[in-house]
């Protein structure tokens, strides 16, 4: 495995998981930063540190997989280079900045028969897996609405490339946190039919406030919020049904305004709430390393990758639609495969 990038994504997320999974060996790390290079050598004994990604391409016969933990605005270019050399690729989310680039990469990977997958690690979080278990149980009855949030209180923004880049350059919370929320909603409730979005850039160059409404083909509506300017963050998950609600209060362990509903122990995740009655929900075990177990199995045994390229494209299509919706104040229809492009008027809001 060659890991491109040793910032927060590469060092804190990908490298530890690559070291954890049996059968994977991290042999090369790419970073041009001297301090990060020193950390890469110390934390990954035996791995060779390279200053530029261009030095990876001649190694196509020596490495089996390239992991791109680089800034979002170079994902498409670097993935294209790897695929043209028949190198399997894991791209940190999101796959690309635009749906057009994402579709091109998916088509290129399919044409060359090369593995392409995207690190949507939150699918293997206990939050997501427990929500799926609650859905499967049917305890909520007919579903009404799904809400998911990554709300934080950071009135003084961090000094990172994401804060200094527009959404069109891969920065902001739309391309970062919303890519997790959108992927989770699509994974749970199926393809999007339409998207409405509100975006604002208040303390950063990229958007630091975002709200998306996805109407799924299944008929359910998802409300997805991501912001760094929530002094009183809302609950991580609220899944509303006719017969009850599934509620997860905290966001990655950070307190929210729903502190009365925090988990009582590590064996449970969230609550089933029926008005004045409530009961804790048994936590479904989740481990982000399972993503890389799936990558290993896809390479060795030919199993389907843990995240399909087409699924990653669908996420970017929603994010593209969100940018357009916010800019034009419209509800944007998502074209379905094989569907003719015909604009249909909406009695409440304009649809394009």
Q: Which pair of tokens denotes residue 209?
A: 């406030």
What average pLDDT does the segment 109-133 reach?
97
Cα–Cα distances in Å, from 217 out to 15, 73, 193, 195, 333?
37, 30, 5, 11, 11
Structural contact between residues 323 and 206, judged by C-beta atoms closer than 8 angstroms: no
Other beta carbons within 10 angstroms of residue 29's beta carbon come to: 28
Token pair of 296, please?
A: 């290993």
Q: Which domains does the chain have, with CATH numbers?
A: 2-121+290-306 (3.40.50.720), 123-282 (3.30.360.10)
pLDDT bin (cut points 50, 70, 90) of residue 151 is very high
Q: What is the rounded CA–CA span in Å between residue 263 and residue 261?
A: 6
Q: How confident is the model at residue 349 (pLDDT cuts 50, 70, 90)?
A: very low
What is residue 339's predicted lDDT score, i.e. its pLDDT? Answer: 60
Is 68 within 8 Å of 78 (Cβ atoms)?
Answer: yes
Determine the average pLDDT of the residues in 69-88.
Answer: 97
pLDDT at 61 over 80: yes
Q: Give CA–CA dist 281/237, Å, rounded.
A: 13
> What is the C-alpha separation between 168 and 236, in angstroms, rounded?
27
Specify the pTM: 0.93
Distance of alpha carbon 109 from alpha carbon 153, whole angstroms: 40
List all residues 6 or more positions away from 299 whose beta carbon is below 8 Å from its beta carbon.
64, 65, 88, 115
Q: Is the distance from CB of 236 to CB of 145 less than 8 angstroms?
A: no
Rg of the Cα atoms in the chain = 21
Give 161-214 pLDDT, tens digit per residue.
778 888 888 899 999 999 999 999 999 999 999 999 999 999 999 999 999 999
* Secondary structure class of 196 (helix, strand, coil): strand
Per-residue DSSP letters for 20-52?
HSTT----EEE---HHHHHHHHHHSTTPEEESS
């Amino acid at each position: 495995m060659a890991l491109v990038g040793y910032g927060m994504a590469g060092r804190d997320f990908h490298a530890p998981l690559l070291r954890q999974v049996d059968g994977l060996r991290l042999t090369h790390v790419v970073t041009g930063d001297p301090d990060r290079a020193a950390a890469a050598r110390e934390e990954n004994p035996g791995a060779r540190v390279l200053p530029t990604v261009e030095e990876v391409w001649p190694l196509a016969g020596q490495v089996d997989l390239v992991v791109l933990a680089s800034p979002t605005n170079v994902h498409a270019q670097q993935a294209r280079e790897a695929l043209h050399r028949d190198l399997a690729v894991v791209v940190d989310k999101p796959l690309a900045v635009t749906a057009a680039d994402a579709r091109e990469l998916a088509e290129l990977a399919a044409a060359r028969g090369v593995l392409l997958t995207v690190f949507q690690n939150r699918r293997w979080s206990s939050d997501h897996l427990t929500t799926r278990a609650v859905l499967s149980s049917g305890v909520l009855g007919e579903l009404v609405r799904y809400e998911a949030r990554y709300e934080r209180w950071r009135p003084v923004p961090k000094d990172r490339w994401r804060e200094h880049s527009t959404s069109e350059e891969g920065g902001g919370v739309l391309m970062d946190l919303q890519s997790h929320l959108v992927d989770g909603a699509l994974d749970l409730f199926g393809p999007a039919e339409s998207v409405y979005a509100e975006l604002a850039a208040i303390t950063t160059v990229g958007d630091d406030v975002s709200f998306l409404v996805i109407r799924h083909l299944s008929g359910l509506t998802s409300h997805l919020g991501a912001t760094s300017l929530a002094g009183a963050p809302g609950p991580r998950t609220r899944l509303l049904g006719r017969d009850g609600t599934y509620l997860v209060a905290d966001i990655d362990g950070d307190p929210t305004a729903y502190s009365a509903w925090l988990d009582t122990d590590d064996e449970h995740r969230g609550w089933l709430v029926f008005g004045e009655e409530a009961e804790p929900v048994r936590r479904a075990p989740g481990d982000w390393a399972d993503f890389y177990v799936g990558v290993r199995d896809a390479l060795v045994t030919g199993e389907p990758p843990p995240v399909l390229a087409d699924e990653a494209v669908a996420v970017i299509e929603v994010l593209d639609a969100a940018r357009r919706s916010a800019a034009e104040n419209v509800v944007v229809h998502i074209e379905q495969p094989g569907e003719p492009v015909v604009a249909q008027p909406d009695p409440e809001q304009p649809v394009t």
